[in-house]
Each structure stands twice: as C-alpha cells, then as structure tokens.
Structure 1
Amino acid sequence: MTNGQDTAGQNIPYIAGITLIATLGGLLFGYDTAVISGAEKSVQAYLITGQGLSTWVHGVTISSALIGCILGGAISGVFSSRMGRKKTLIIAAVLFLLSALGSGYPEFLFFQEGEPTMGLLYMFNFYRIIGGIGVGLASAVCPVYIGELAPANLRGRLVSLNQFAIIFGMLVVYFVNWGISNGQSSEWLDTVGWRYMFLSEAIPAGLFGLLMFLVPESPRYLSMVNRDEEALKILTKVNGAASAKKIFADIKNTVEHHSGKLLSYGKTVIIIGILLSVFQQFVGINVALYYAPRIFESMGAGKDASMLQTVVMGVVNVFFTVLAILTVDRWGRKPLLMVGSIGMAIGMFAIAALSFYEIIGISTLVFIILYTASFMMSWGPICWVLISEIFPNKIRGKAVAVAVAAQWAANYFISATYPSMMEYSGAFTYGFYGVMSVLSLLFVWKMVPETKGRTLEDMEALWMNKPSYSQEQPTLISKR
C-alpha cells in the first residue's frame, strides 16, 4: 500500500505500453534539439559563411528552434487544457514531421538548390522554429500526460523515462550524424550530408503520430471536462477498481473546489517551477549538447573522431539517466538534485581552469563527462518530474506552460550567447556555468519540497498549507 493505493491492482503492462508510446515525444524532443550538433558547421558553411554573415547570426540560426520551443511551451497550457493532452501530442508529432522535411530541404517550392540567400536562411529558420514549437508542446505535455496516468508509487520512474527517451533520442541522432558523416568529405557534408541529418527525423515523427491514436486521454483531463465515466474507466484499467474510486474522488475534490486561476495557490509554487526550469538551462547543459562536436574538435580531435566522442558522451548520458530512473522513487528528488549540482559545479569549474591555462586533452574530456553525467542523473530527469507533479490539478496545464516557456527562454539565451561568450573568454564562460550550478544547489536546499511518494492531489495540501501534508515525512499523513 502506498498512500492508500492498492499496488497489487495496477496493470503494469498497460501502464508501460502507454508510457513507451508517450515517451516517443521525449525521444523526438531529444532528436530535434541534438540533430543540429552534427549539422551546425555545415549549416554555417552553406547558409552563413558564404553570405559573409556574422558569428552572432550563426548563434541565432543554430538556436532558432528554441524560439519555437518558447512559443510551444507558452501555448501548451491552452492546447492541453482545451484540446486535451493526447490531441496536443498528435499536433506536436505533425510539427516534428513538417520540420524534418522542411529543414532537410528548405528550398522546397521557392528557392534554387545550391544558391544560398537570405530568403533561404529565413526559410530554414522557419522550419526549425516549427519543429521547436513541437518540442515545446512535447516537453510540457509528455511529462504531464505520463504523470497524470502513472500511479504515485511509479510516477517518478515513469516520468524519468521521458528524460531517458530525450537522452536516447540524442544518442540515436549522434549515431545517425556520425554514420552520415563517417568517411565523407567536408564538401559533401556542407552541400548534401546535413540535409540527411534533418530528414532522418521524419521516421520517428511519423511513428509517434500514428501510435498516439492508440493511447487513452489523461483521466485527470477527462475529469476536468466532466467526462467522468471515461476518466473512471481509465483509472480502473490502470490502478484496479478499488484504488480507482478513491483516486477519482480525490481528483474531483481538487477540480471542483478551486477556480483554476494561475495564482490561486500563491506565487511560491509558480516561482519554484520557473526557477527549476531556469536553473536547468543556466548550468549550461545545452551548450555541451548542441556544440559537442565543435568542443571536441577544439580539443584536437578530427572531424570523425569528434563525432565519435559525441557518441561516447551520449552513451554516458544514457547510463546516468538510467541511474536516476532507478533511484528517484527510492532516494527522492531533492538529494539527487543536490548531488547533481555539486558534480556539475566541480566539472564546470575544472573546465574553466583548464581553459584559462589553455590545457586541452583527455582531462578536459573527463570533466565534460563528469559534468554531463552529473546533470543526467539529476537535473535532466528530476526537473521534469518535479514540474509534472508539484502543481495542483486545477492549474497544472497553465503552470507547466509558464515553467516550460521560461525553460526554453533560458535555453535560448544560453545557447545563443555561447559563441560570443567564448570569443570573449572560455574560462569566464565555463566559470559562469559553474556559479549557476552552485546557485542551483542553494535553491534546491532552501526552496524545493520533497514530493517522493505523494499523489498529485497531495500537492493541493502542500501549497494550501493544509495539515494533511507533512514536509518532514516522506508519505502523506492521511486524515481518512
């Protein structure tokens, strides 16, 4: 028994099937954001350098998908609240597909291949922004959808699987990019190869869109739109009849007694959600992900070797994300976040020192791996777990949209400023990310509540300061 829930009645195969399909949205999130890592130098050569454009334009172009991510995150609350979680994810799949095809062949209909112009650059950025909107929608709605279907005792692991899918999607595209570039000339990559990298995303995008028609809608969304019979049916199939009735009663209680205005539970929960998102980006993780091949080349690796080292980093990322999945419901959210912040700070400060003394070699690779491993076993998955579960039912869609939009805005700022910051000083750049890692540790220690083992309905008791929620105890103190 966990929080009064009969775990024996849970339909694990059904839960696992739904989760695996939903996490394809996370895989596409990772695939779409990391595909640029293999293509960015060729895109620079084909669309930017040939026109004599600046480093700033390069940074903005490589980060243009993040503009769409901000938009997608911002509108995710409206879409998921009005259309439902399931339909919103189907829309995201369509956007992923359009972006893959358009980014791979931006000349479609309007431009001549082999003749880069400002108009073609704008069109490429347009398609990347379309994909970014899909990423923004998926990044907000996938963890919410999984969290709203998952039983409380499994929620941390199941939502963390979405982060695993994100990292796995990155690993897959690292292999794809390496396979496309391996043994090919720079001239071929700069004219043709980068197109294949973007086009490859069309396969998982189409699969995700088709499979989403096979999963149910979130029972908590159905309850909010008064489709109670459908909600109870899904809850019963997931949790068993006895637990389903109790969970359904708790859902209806939280849905019916609050207005649903964003600040109806106070400012603190919204601020915590925003800061979780901002710190996840300000520690600099996407700099390592987007610019990984370039970083490794700066360490002295050749083109093929830098792609291969990126694959190695991807394997490490997957391993440590699995570690988080296995421990999040056992150790809790806060301990993992705090340990991760310490590891990231050590890694970034070491890289800053090596950069200052112009030491480039295996030590740099070791500290990059320490940094990314620390992130992947903590802030990578746990931030999404907390964002999916800390908000009460009635405001979850809106609050998650605010948090995710803030996350992508922070992501865009960090990614777009990286090239110019590195021109100024590599030591300063990595030192800044190290300082952010220390601040993230202090933030978690002082402000973030532990949510391990609590139902989503318990969040109302937390933010309304009800006696049914104990900050000290790892489980709910039941009034029943």
Structure 2
Amino acid sequence: MNNTLLLDEQPVRFNNAYIIGISFISALGGYLFGFDFAVISGALPFLRTEFALNAWWEGFLTGSLALGCIAGCIIAGSLADRYGRRPGLMLAAAIFALSSLGMAFSVSLSMFVVMRFAAGIGVGMASMLSPMYIAEISPASIRGRNVAINQLTIVIGILITNLVNYSLSDNGSEAWRWMFGLGTIPALFFLVGVIWLPESPRWLVKAGKDAQAQKVLGKIGSEGFVSGTLSDIEASLQGVKKQPFAAVFNKSVRPAVLLGITLAVFQQLCGINVVFNYTSTIFESVGADLDRQLFETVSIGVVNLIFTLVAMWQVDKLGRRPLMLFGSLGLSVLYVVLSFALQFQASAALVSLFVLLAIATYATSLAPVTWVLISEIFPNKIRGMASSVAIVSLWSAYFILVFTFPILAEKLGTYGPFYLYACICLLGFLFVKSKVKETKGQTLEELESTMVTH
C-alpha cells in the first residue's frame, strides 16, 4: 500500500511495503544483537559451573562481547564509507554464524571468551550498520519508526532467546551449548536476506553512482521524491572530498559528534543492561530458584517487546526529546525503589514488578530513541565514521557496566549499584533537557544544517 505526502505542494508517494521490507531485512542485524545480548543471561548459571567463574571472570566473560563490538564498529565504519553498507552487513552475518558454532563447541574458558569476542565483532558491525542503513533509505516522515524496527528486532531476539533458554534449561549441564549454537540459524537467514538488499542511495551518490542511487530511490518513492532527495544529497556533499578520520572532530561537526557520544554512553551507563544480563544474579539474591530466574528473563522479554511497539508508535508523534526525558527521569526513580526492594529482601514478585516497570520505561524511551538519534544527527560526509565513534563509545560503556556489576554486587550487595545508576539517570535527564533538540519530521539534510556550526 502506498502512502502519499505533500512536499512543496507536490504529491509524493512512498512504496511503504518495499520500505518496510528492506528495513526489516536490514534490522535482522538487530536480532543477532538481541540473541547474543540475551543468551548469556540464561547460560550464566551453567557457565559458572562449567568454567568455575569468580566475580571477575563472570564480568569479563559477559563483557567480552562488548570488546568485540568495539572492534566490529571500527571495522564497520571503514567498510561502510569505502565499500558501502551492504557488504558490511553480509560480513557481520557470516562472522556471527561462525562464532555461534565456536561458542557452542568451546572446550575451555579461553576458547569461549575468544569466540564471544568474535561474536561481538559481528554484533558491533550490525549494531552500527543496520540503523544507519535504515535511516538512509527511509523518508523523513517515517524514519523514526523505521529505525525503531531495528530495536524491535533486538527485543524479539531477546524474547525468543529467553524462551529457548527456558525450554532448554532442563536438558542437563550441556544445555548452554545448544543455547549458543542455535544462533547460527538467524545469522544464516540474515546473510541470505542481505543479498537481496539494495545499496544505500546516500552512499551511492557519495560514491559517484547517481544512476544507481536514482534507481533505488525510484523503488522507494515517486518521481518528486527521487528528484528532491537526490538534489538534497548532492547539495550536502557538494565540494566535499574524501574525509580523513580527524574530520569527525572538526569544529563544525563537533557538537553533533559530542552529542552522539554522550547519548550512546548514557544509554548504557543508565544501568538497564545489568537487568538483562544478570537477571539470574538479581533474583538469586532474593531467594528465587533457577526455574524462577529463567522465567523472569522471559517476562522481561515480553514486556520489552510490548513497550518497544509503543515506542515505535510514538517516536514520530511525540518526538525523540520527550521520550528521552521521560525515560531518564523514570528510571532514576524506579532504581531507587528497586534498590530498597533488593536491600530489604522483598519478595521475588515485588522485585519482578519494579524490574518490569524499569524495562517498560527503558523500552519506550532510551532503548530505541538513542539509536534513532545516532542514525540522524551526523552529516552525510562523515556519517559512517561518526556513527562508528558513537557506537564504539556505547560498547565501551556497556563493557564497563557489565564488567563492574558482579564486582560491585559482591562488595556492596546486589542492590548497591542501582543507587549509582539512579544518579546517572538523573544526570542524563539534565543533559537531555539542556542539549537535545527535536529531530522528528526533518530530512537528514535539513538536520545537517541545524546540527553543525559554520
């Protein structure tokens, strides 16, 4: 079904079915992200026994994915600007498939950590390239919703992985091998799907392939959309030569880059991924057995999915800024309450209530909107490199978060770190209120003129 929009008083039609189709295929990279992100939560109780993990090794094993993601983002940034978005997505899928098998057949802790690092390379590449690709092929009026599709596939990946983990939990001490090995299946689906994708029209114009870009844009929208978009892209790239990496920190683009880095770091240090990755640890601290711990991972996945759909519905209506403000302040309050519940050994049911409220708040706000903003705010000429810098910062913050939690929990009690996360969320609220501008409804080229200084 086509959608019609008036731009400059001329009707512009969009091929919504095609746009959503290629967005979903690209967003399968998010599914891989969700899989590797969630699988560790169900597998940790088995891995602790298998590899005799202490708090330090538990944190490092969990965080090794993030170290691989950092490497993956660096690789993807260079690939995306030199060869296009599509080849990078294909490589990410292949790496993920091979590393999933590697983790499943690991015979030592060192081998497992190396394979999880390799999986992180694939996840890091996809986490950068999927939302970037979707932003570049989406009309401005639906870009927020479409980029949020990537977050939707992440949470679907989390939910399905948690369900699989729960179903495998009674299959003996080797169940964790199946948990990781099954990741090969979605990776292969992703690889096949990416073969069908067109290249990003914005990258094609940048590479001097205007005719191919025009053909891709013609599948997305009508003639008015094609001519207008090509004109905007060419104007934004006029006189621009190949950019060195140092251009990311040029004074004219520095505000946008610093904003992207800060938002990326905040999305992780807000603390919610501790809940995703250490669900078993949190509920074990209030006396829940293994079955209840794994059941809670499924509950988290269901709530995460429902409220991600709410975010997709609202991100192009309410806008990015109101959702970010709601999420940061809401998490700050909920963490304080959750800390009290954990500290005074409340029932698992009450802890579950506050955990799920925190997940719902995050899924409606910081989770999808941060990715939307990162995909929007950088100029065309440095988008690949700047996105790489922002997402490297994100994964660095994720590593710090998940590495330190077991150590902090051992020293302070499971409740202790949540007081820290509450303070970080309050600071994040103040930052968003003072620094983040609304971006909904504007083309990438329009945003470029407002996000850079001259």
TM-score bin (small chain): over 0.9
Q: Would you say 1:234 and 2:246 are equivalent positions?
A: no
Q: Deviations over 1:295-329 (max 9, x none)?
A: 22333322122211211111001011000000000
| Cross-structure match for 1:274 | 261
2:119 aligned partner: 131
Q: Distance in 2 between matches of 1:3 and 1:345?
A: 41
- Counterpart amino acid of residue 21 in structure 2: G
Corresponding residue of 1:338: 325
Distance in 2 between the 1:43 and 1:126 partners? Answer: 15
Q: In structure 2, how many angstroms separate the alpha carbons of the residues matched to 1:383 and 1:5?
A: 32
Equivalent pair of 2:255/2:452 in contact (CA under 8 Å): no
CA deviation vs aligned residue, 1:62-95 (integer Å, no higher than 9, x gap): 2211110111122221011112100100000001
Look up the match of 1:121: 109
Contact 1:220/1:251 (CA < 8 Å) preserved in 2?
yes
State the SS of the aligned residue for 1:406: helix
Residue 73 of structure 2 contacts residue 121 of structure 2 at CA under 8 Å; is this kept in 1? Answer: yes
Task: Give the equivalent residue in structure 2 for 1:445.
Answer: 433
Distance 1:5 1:302, change over 3 A: farther
Q: Does 1:180 align with 2:171?
A: no
**Given the alignment of the two structures, is residue 418 of structure 1 paired with residue 422 of structure 2, yes or no?**
no
Q: Confirm or deny: 8 A CA contact 2:69 2:123 kept in the other structure.
A: yes
- Cα distance change on mapping 1:40 and 1:4 into 2, 3 Å: farther
SS state of the match for residue 9, structure 1? strand
Q: Which moved more, 1:335-344 or 1:300-309?
A: 300-309
Q: What is the CA-CA distance between 1:464 and the residue it aligns to?
A: 3.7
The offset of 1:4, in angstroms, is 4.0
Query: What whole-Å deviation, never above 9, does each CA across 1:429-462 have from its counterpart, x for those lacking one?
Result: 0001111111111111111111000000112211
Alpha-carbon distance, 1:353 to partner? 1.9
- 1:156 is matched with 144
Which structure 2 residues correspond to residues 212-251 of structure 1 after superposition, within 5 A? 212-251=194-233
Partners of 1:212 and 1:149 lie apart in 2 by 14
Question: Bigger shift: 74-83 or 319-328?
Answer: 74-83
296-305 vs 98-107, greater mean Cα deviation:
296-305
8 A contact 1:74–1:404 mirrored in 2: no
Gaps of 5+ in 1: 108-119, 467-480
**CA–CA separation in structure 1 for the residues paired with 2:249 and 2:11:** 34
* Stretch of structure 1 that moved more, 348-357 or 270-279: 348-357
Note if contact 1:37-1:293 (Cα within 8 Å) is conserved in structure 2.
yes
Alignment of 1:348-363 (within 5 A): 348-363=335-350
Alpha-carbon contact 2:55-2:410 (below 8 Å) kept: no
| 1:328-383 deviations in Å (ceiling 9; x for gaps) | 00010000111111221111111112233333432211111111111000000000
Identity %: 38
Letter in 2 for 1:30: G
| 2:249 equivalent among 247, 263, 267 | 263
Q: What does the per-residue CA deviation read over 1:114-152, in whole Å, with 9 as the maximum and x for residues that have no partner? A: xxxxxx221111110111001110001100000000010
User: Cα distance 1:44–1:234, how it changes in 2: closer, same or farther (>3 A)?
Assistant: same
Please report how far the alpha carbon of residue 43 of structure 1 lies from its aligned counterpart in structure 2 after TM superposition: 1.3
What is the CA distance between 1:6 and its match in structure 2? 6.0
- TM-score after normalising by structure 1: 0.90
In the TM superposition, residue 5 of structure 1 has moved relative to its aligned partner by 8.6
User: Counterpart of 2:447?
Assistant: 459
Paired letter, 2:368: P
Cα separation, 1, equivalents of 2:257 and 2:75: 17
Within 1, Cα distance between the matches of 2:345 and 2:42?
Answer: 25
**In the superposition, relative to structure 1, how do residues 438 and 151 fare at CA in structure 2: closer, same or farther (>3 Å)?**
same
Secondary structure of the residue that 2:440 maps to in structure 1? coil
Of 183, 186, 190, which residue of structure 2 is paired with 1:208?
A: 190
8 Å CA contact 1:3–1:454 kept in 2: the answer is no
Aligned counterpart, 1:288: 275
Counterparts of 1:5 and 1:366 in 2: how far apart (Å)?
Answer: 50
Q: Which of 12, 19, 22 does residue 23 from structure 2 map onto?
A: 19
* TM norm structure 2: 0.95
CA pair 76-4 structure 1, distance change in 2 beyond 3 A: farther
Aligned position for 1:328: 315
Residues 253 and 366 from structure 1, CA distance in 2 versus in 1: closer, same or farther, beyond 3 angstroms?
Answer: same
1:244, 1:163 → 2: CA distance?
A: 28
- Work out whether 1:195 is the aligned partner of 2:199: no
How has the CA–CA distance of structure 1 residues 13 and 80 changed in structure 2, closer, same or farther, with 3 Å as cutoff? same
**SS of the counterpart of 2:316?**
helix
2 CA distance for matches of 1:347 and 1:338? 14
Of 74-83 and 291-300, more deviation after overlay is shown by 291-300
Corresponding residue for residue 306 of structure 1: 293
Partner of 1:30: 34
Higher mean C-alpha deviation, range 355-364 or range 194-203: 355-364
Q: 1:143 to 1:408 in 2, by over 3 A?
A: same
Paired residue total: 444
Distance in 2, matches of 1:233 and 1:90, equals 22
Change (3 A) 1:227 1:431: same
- Give 2:103's aligned residue: 103
Look up the SS of the partner of 1:123 in the other structure.
helix
Output the CA distance in 1 between the equivalents of 2:214 and 2:39. 41
